[in-house]
Amino acid sequence: MAEDSPKRRKANFNEAETEVLIEQVLKHEQLLFAAGPGRASPGQKRKVWELIRHKVNPVAACPRDVEDLKKRWRDLKRRDRSKLCRLSQGCGPPGPAAALGLFLAPEEMPPAAVPPG
């Protein structure tokens, strides 16, 4: 009977899961996303994503697999960049872009949002 039931979706990522994911991906960003001759092999990247999964799952609402984490990371980046794009075009609410731009380098931020120095 369990085979006939529709597949249930997993719970949304909670704040703790998202924080751990961001912290770990940023910690290993060079290894995961570097391009060029010094980039990591797919096997090395898989091991890093497994390490991240082992860090996220203790605070997770339900067990997450690597594909869940990769999808969440892509969604966070996409959402953050679209917010910044709207802000730089003057379509969004006024405010510091740094509060929205967790994943943006200073050169990607609009000039008014880049802190001096």
Banded pLDDT at 38 (limits 50, 70, 90): confident
pLDDT the model gives residue 11 = 92
What does the alpha-carbon distance between residue 17 and residue 58 come to, in Å, rounded to a whole number? Answer: 9
Q: Model-level pTM greater than 0.85?
A: no
Banded pLDDT at 8 (limits 50, 70, 90): confident
Return the domain boundaries, the chain.
15-88
pLDDT of residue 48 exceeding 90: yes
Q: What is the 3-state secondary structure of 54-100?
A: HHHHHHCCCCCCHHHHHHHHHHHHHHHHHHHHHHHCCCCCCCCHHHH
Banded pLDDT at 86 (limits 50, 70, 90): confident
Q: Is 113:96 a contact under the CB 8 Å cutoff?
A: yes
The angle at the Cα of 27, spanning 85 to 78, to the nearest 5 degrees, equals 20
pLDDT of residue 105 exceeding 60: no
